[in-house]
Amino acid sequence: MTATTINDAEIAKFTAMAEEWWDPTGKFKPLHKFNPVRLSYIREHLLAHFNLDGTAMRPFEGLTILDVGCGGGLLCEPLARLGATVTGIDAAERNIAIARLHAEKSGLAIDYRATTSEALAATGARYDMVLNMEVVEHVDNVPLYMKSCADLVKPGGLTLTATLNRTLRARAFAVFAAERILHWLPRGTHDWNRFLTPDEIKTLLTRNGLRITGETGVVFHPLADEWRRSRDMGINYMVMAERPAA
């Protein structure tokens, strides 16, 4: 049997919510809230790594970016507006249909494909940046998934992994409170046993030839109603890595 990262139950879960991707008050409200801090971190690292002009209207012109598990395209669209050539992939065909329709309405040319990271990597495709955002906790065969994401990074390119830490605090907040008390997410969105620690993510990245260049926690500030970067990586965190230039 061919190795795969597809978890049919997880795909069905997100397919059932696909119509709500672009509703900022719907089931994906947490990702809409999360987007600004994700985008600022991506922008900061791309500008510095590729020595780009941050004052330009489209500073990512000429860069190729892949968003793995892109969902409805919440990250793809702003990156395309910043000038990048963006590819978004997702194993759920309904998500890709929603993403394509929204991009068309927005006048954006984004290459959306219903496929997996391992299938795309097998074609030899490579990108300046590969985004792996809140996906690793939803796939099967995590080592294969992380290897395929790493294989998709060009020499000299970057990859960003964002996920949830496997701590008791994450279990209490990201699962119990977020799903059962605050109702930020539908029940069953996350399985704490699938969370990975920062050390586990970094090991998987370095094992596949990448070098860690940055990491940050992300915490919610209720009074400001926004997510911010933090030294606290106990719940949400992001890890940046690069593939050394050939």
Q: Over the stretch 165-175, which tens digit does the pLDDT of each residue have?
A: 999 887 777 65
- When pLDDT is cut at 50, 70 and 90, the band that residue 189 belongs to is low
Beta bridge partners of 159: 130, 241
**H helical segments located in the chain:** 8-15, 29-49, 76-81, 93-106, 117-122, 142-151, 168-170, 198-207
88 pLDDT higher than 90: yes
1 pLDDT higher than 70: no
51 pLDDT higher than 50: yes
**112 or 171, higher pLDDT:** 112
Residue 188 has a pLDDT of 54
191 pLDDT higher than 80: no
Contact 139, 10 (CB under 8 A): yes
84 pLDDT higher than 90: yes
Closest CA to 174 of 218, 228, 124: 218
Beta bridge partners of 212: 241
Residue 32 has a pLDDT of 85
Q: Over the stretch 5-31, which tens digit does the pLDDT of each residue have?
A: 777 776 776 677 667 878 888 777 777
Rounded to whole angstroms, the Cα distance separating 78 from 188 reads 29
Q: What is the pTM of this model?
A: 0.90
**For the chain, what is the mean pLDDT?**
89
Q: Over the stretch 136-145, which tens digit does the pLDDT of each residue have?
A: 988 989 999 9
Contact 84, 60 (CB under 8 A): yes
Mean pLDDT of 108-128: 97
Beta bridge partners of 164: 236
Closest CA to 67 of 151, 7, 129, 17: 129
What is the residue whose two structure tokens read 């300046």?
A: 128
83 pLDDT higher than 80: yes
- When pLDDT is cut at 50, 70 and 90, the band that residue 62 belongs to is very high
**Range with the poorest average pLDDT among 11-15, 45-49, 121-125, 240-244:** 11-15
Closest CA to 12 of 130, 110, 138: 138
Rounded to whole angstroms, the Cα distance separating 198 from 27 reads 27
**Range with the poorest average pLDDT among 81-85, 94-98, 211-215:** 94-98
**Range with the poorest average pLDDT among 99-108, 122-131, 180-189:** 180-189
Rounded to whole angstroms, the Cα distance separating 86 from 147 reads 21
